Amino acid sequence: MLITLLTDFGLDSHYVAQMKGVLYDLADAPEIVDISHSVRPQNVRQAAFIIDQVVDAFPRDTCHIVVVDPGVGSARRILLARSAEQFLIGPDNGVFSTLLERHPPEWVREMTETRFWRKPTSQTFHGRDIMAPTAAHLANGVSPASFGASTMEWCVLTPHELKMGRDRLEGLVIEVDSFGNLISNIPAQFFSQLQTQSEIHSPVVTLKCCSGEAAAEIRVPIVSTYAEGQIGEKVALIGSGGYLEIAVVNGNAAESMAAQVGDRIVVSG
Amino acid sequence: MLITLLTDFGLDSHYVAQMKGVLYDLADAPEIVDISHSVRPQNVRQAAFIIDQVVDAFPRDTCHIVVVDPGVGSARRILLARSAEQFLIGPDNGVFSTLLERHPPEWVREMTETRFWRKPTSQTFHGRDIMAPTAAHLANGVSPASFGASTMEWCVLTPHELKMGRDRLEGLVIEVDSFGNLISNIPAQFFSQLQTQSEIHSPVVTLKCCSGEAAAEIRVPIVSTYAEGQIGEKVALIGSGGYLEIAVVNGNAAESMAAQVGDRIVVSG
Amino acid sequence: MLITLLTDFGLDSHYVAQMKGVLYDLADAPEIVDISHSVRPQNVRQAAFIIDQVVDAFPRDTCHIVVVDPGVGSARRILLARSAEQFLIGPDNGVFSTLLERHPPEWVREMTETRFWRKPTSQTFHGRDIMAPTAAHLANGVSPASFGASTMEWCVLTPHELKMGRDRLEGLVIEVDSFGNLISNIPAQFFSQLQTQSEIHSPVVTLKCCSGEAAAEIRVPIVSTYAEGQIGEKVALIGSGGYLEIAVVNGNAAESMAAQVGDRIVVSG
């Protein structure tokens, strides 16, 4: 079984290696892919964005383990879910809620069957002692129902603010990628609707930077790929993840525009 | 065979990729796990801590290659050892000594049989040219005795200072993890002994920061898991690796307490 | 099939994970190795150096995907090539030119057959939508000729300046590795030639730092391995990649000499 790991353990952490050791110890021939371990510490919202972005690239029956778990050791539940024909394992803190809204789950279970856990079970590292063993047993053919009872409720994150008017869209920068591209929460289909259903046929994107000494508003032309702009030019486009993003061609938009997560992005006529 | 790599080559180094290329070239179907490549350059002591922390999570017959090797090209020996039912390959500079004290080896061999080495054998990269080929041949079924003669001696690191009195324990911060948690060299069992064999039933942990402008002493309450503290609270607990650690709940203890490796930690009444 | 990835996506990027998801989705049992994802953004020259450095360590028929692709979405071609008995996939921007000069290709093809691409094919992420699917189909046995027609031309990077006189060699620092070692473009064989064919039997290496307030010239003795120098000593030697490099024994040459990529290195009598 293909098993992925998404955590906030930090780059190159030996905590990740311990989870992999447990997977190899308990599962028959696991294949393991790291999604990322650079989620900002305890940033459930960022992890929710990333798992939602990557899941469509993975094959059927992949098992994704997400360990961004500020509530470890508390009464928060641990979930096993089936969504997008794949398995999800992680704490019930909203980390799967973006994905589950887009791909409603076939089922969600609460992992309560302690017989599948690693012993002794630490109170501070459930990724290694509960989640990895569960993925391993699942890979070995244990039926999902064995791990705990079905549940109809799970934590849902408040969505990022997204306003759609007749001739205007307003969203936020929700992620800055490694190139400095500013990824918004404005989906491609909203953007298309604005163009087809409004009077606006050539919209403009405006970035409103909230940080820094003075608020800045920067207008950015819309292109369909980076290469349509000149090197160094600011452009807005639908990125590979299906959201509107602002980039600097062969440059770093976040740095050159002093922009960051939380800045507003407006599409208007 | 499952083969792990622990090095100081730095994040994402192509030196690591070269070792993996050699492993895939020479071994039948190796499975490779990165422990970490972020060991501070030439920091044998940190590598000794990490390999000791992770080994118990891995299955029988895993082969761990550790390349933290300031003496590469000198007369320092290269060892192949069997400990904890797993194989260890690395320079004889003490990097395995913490682990070998906890899990005394079945045997230790000095790798002298040059016929297993990659040719030409560089004088600066024995990880690629000697250690990876050895792991590959071992994975292919070459008997351990083929690689060199048995030895009864190996380098041992001076242990970190750890004082245990009747009613007091004193150790050091030996690692700061990616969350900023301060991990000490005080093992869980010493801590339990203090509680059961002394008059002290509710001990207190004190961190003594040596760095910064003024020495600071910070008293920290003991909990059993992070979630027992309030967000932002300083707590002391037995971490997932079996040692006393100091954390800030959902925060970064190293930053907020200006603490670092080498600071003293005292448990007292 | 063994498939490697070399990109400028940044450490721990979920863009890399998406490529891996596609590989696992489309290929039968791929084995994936990360070369590095820390190539400086859009730095084709650095990627060309790294892929050339690592390829000799990998087995026959490995497929290397390089995604350092400032021209993504433009008319730049995507190549599939066979060199050093391995496969290469990447943009036609010179990223393979160092390697192809050393190992002239058996053939080079332009990847034009869109039926092998992921649909919808984004205009900003050809690594995921074109290159990874091509590697997967290649791994599944699709013949190279199916992906597009043969071509006899490809982009070649201007080589780094390298002057060889009768009694003098002059090159550049082209890479600083994770230890701070300064790797030059002076190959071992040029260095040997200087010693055997000139009057110079004990050459000296001089580093000329161009940056900083004042230009500095630092003379460095030549050794055959780090361990020949004292701890902290500056030494020059042929590194594990086959090029002359300058190091500080158990230290960081780039930091202690304030050196960087582009500084000149001279070997003379």
* pLDDT tens digits, B3-61: 999 999 998 889 999 999 999 999 999 999 999 999 999 999 999 999 999 999 999 99
List pLDDT tens digits, range C61-94.
999 999 999 888 788 999 999 999 999 999 999 9
CATH number of A163-268: 2.40.30.90
Burial bucket for residue A230 (CB in 10 Å: 0-12, 13-18, 19+): exposed
Q: Please list every residue in chain A whose beta carbon sits closer than 8 Å to the beta carbon of residue C21.
A: 33, 54, 57-59, 62
Q: What is the pLDDT of residues C106-129, one digit of tens each?
A: 999 999 999 999 999 998 999 999
CA angle (C106 as vertex; C101, C110 as ends), nearest 5: 90
Domain locations in chain B as residue ranges: 2-147, 163-268
- The C-alpha atoms of residue C242 and residue A9 are separated, in whole angstroms, by 36
Average pLDDT over residues C244-253: 94
**How far is C54 from B15, CA to CA, in rounded Å?**
8
- For B113, phi then psi, to 5°, come to -80, 100
Contacts 24+ apart (CB under 8 A), A74-79: A74/B225, A74/B227, A77/A110, A77/A111, A77/A151, A78/A110, A78/A111, A78/A126, A78/A130, A78/A131, A79/A108, A79/A109, A79/A110, A79/A111, A79/A151, A79/A154
B70 contacts on C by Cβ (under 8 Å): 250
In this prediction the ipTM stands at 0.93
Backbone angles phi, psi at B105, to 5 degrees: -70, 145
- Min Cα distance C47 → chain A (Å) is 16
Considering just the CA atoms, what is the radius of gyration of chain A in Å?
A: 21
Mean pLDDT of chain A: 93
User: Which residue in C50, C179, C250 is closest to B14 by CB distance?
Assistant: C50
Q: What is the mean pLDDT of residues A66-71?
A: 93
Nearest CA-CA distance, residue A192 and chain C, Å: 16
A121-126, long-range: CB < 8 A, 24+ apart:
A122/B240, A123/A72, A123/A73, A123/B224, A123/B225, A124/A72, A124/A73, A124/B225, A124/B226, A124/B237, A124/B239, A124/B240, A125/A15, A125/A18, A125/A72, A125/B240, A126/A67, A126/A69, A126/A72, A126/A73, A126/A78, A126/A91
Copy the structure tokens of residue B113.
Answer: 């049989």
Contact A34 C12 (CB under 8 A): yes
Instruction: Find chain B residues with C-beta within 8 A of C178's C-beta.
Output: 9-11, 13, 15, 41
Phi, psi of B130 (to 5 degrees): -120, -50
**Rounded Cα distance, A196 and A199, in Å:** 8
Q: pLDDT digits over C9-27, tens only?
A: 998 889 999 999 999 999 9
Contact A102, A79 (CB under 8 A): no
Integer angstrom CA distances of residue C60 from A66, A76, C1, C67, C87: 36, 50, 10, 21, 9
Q: Is A73 on the interface with B (CB under 8 A)?
A: yes
B25 lies within 8 A of chain C by CB: yes
pLDDT band at C211 (very low <50, low <70, confident <90, very high): low
Per-residue pLDDT of A200-233, as tens digits, reads 777 889 999 876 655 688 999 999 888 888 999 9
Of C4, C224, C240, which has the smallest distance from its Cβ to B125's Cβ? C240
Alpha-carbon gap, residue A95 to C132, rounded angstroms: 28
Parallel, antiparallel, or unpaired for β B63-67 and B2-7? parallel
pLDDT at B214 over 60: no
Asked whether the CA dihedral B218, B221, B224, B228 is positive or negative, the reply is negative
Contacts of residue C15, Cβ cutoff 8 Å, sequence gap at least 6? A177, A178, A240, C7, C9, C125, C127, C128
Distance in angstroms (rounded) separating the CA atoms of residues C248 and C235? 6
The answer, for C35 touching chain B at a CB cutoff of 8 Å, is yes
Q: What Rg, from alpha-carbon coordinates, does chain B have?
A: 21
pLDDT bin (cut points 50, 70, 90) of residue A149 is very high
Q: What is the pLDDT of residues A94-104, one digit of tens each?
A: 999 999 999 99
Chain A CA closest to residue B13: A12
Distance CA A205, CA A269 (A): 9
Q: Which of C9, C14, C78 to mutate to test the interface with A (most CBs of A within 10 A)?
A: C14
Q: Which residue of B has its CA nearest to A21?
A: B58
β-sheet bridge partners, residue A183: A175, A245
Q: Give the SS3 label for residue B64.
A: strand
Give the range among A65-79, B59-73, B197-211, B230-244 with minimum mean pLDDT. B197-211
pLDDT of residue C206: 93
Band of the pLDDT at A49, cuts 50, 70, 90?
very high
Contact (Cβ atoms closer than 8 angstroms) between residue B265 and residue B208: yes
Mutate to test the interface with C, among A36, A62, A183 (most CBs of C within 10 A): A36
Can you tell me whether residue A110 is helix, strand or coil? strand
pLDDT digits (tens, 9 = 90+) for C148-185: 999 999 999 998 889 988 889 999 999 999 899 999 99
Highest mean pLDDT among A189-193, A217-221, B64-68, B261-265: B64-68
* Rounded CA Rg of chain C: 21
C27, closest residue in chain A (CA to CA): A59
Of the candidate CATH numbers 3.40.50.620, 1.20.58.1030, 3.40.50.720, 3.40.50.10790, the domain formed by A2-147 belongs to 3.40.50.10790
Q: Which of B65, B66, B182, B226 should we substitute to test contact with A (largest number of A Cβ atoms within 10 Å)?
A: B226
C106: nearest Cα among C57, C150, C147, C157: C150
SS3 content of chain C, % helix, strand, coil (to 5): 25, 30, 45
One-letter amino acid of B56: D
Does the beta carbon of B249 lie under 8 angstroms from any beta carbon of chain C?
A: no
Give the residue-averaged pLDDT of A17-26.
Answer: 98
Instruction: Quote helix, strand, coil % in chain B, to nearest 5.
Output: 25, 30, 45
According to DSSP, the residues that pair with B125 across neighbouring strands are none
Distances (CA, A) of B89 to A232, B82, B190, B251: 49, 9, 31, 37
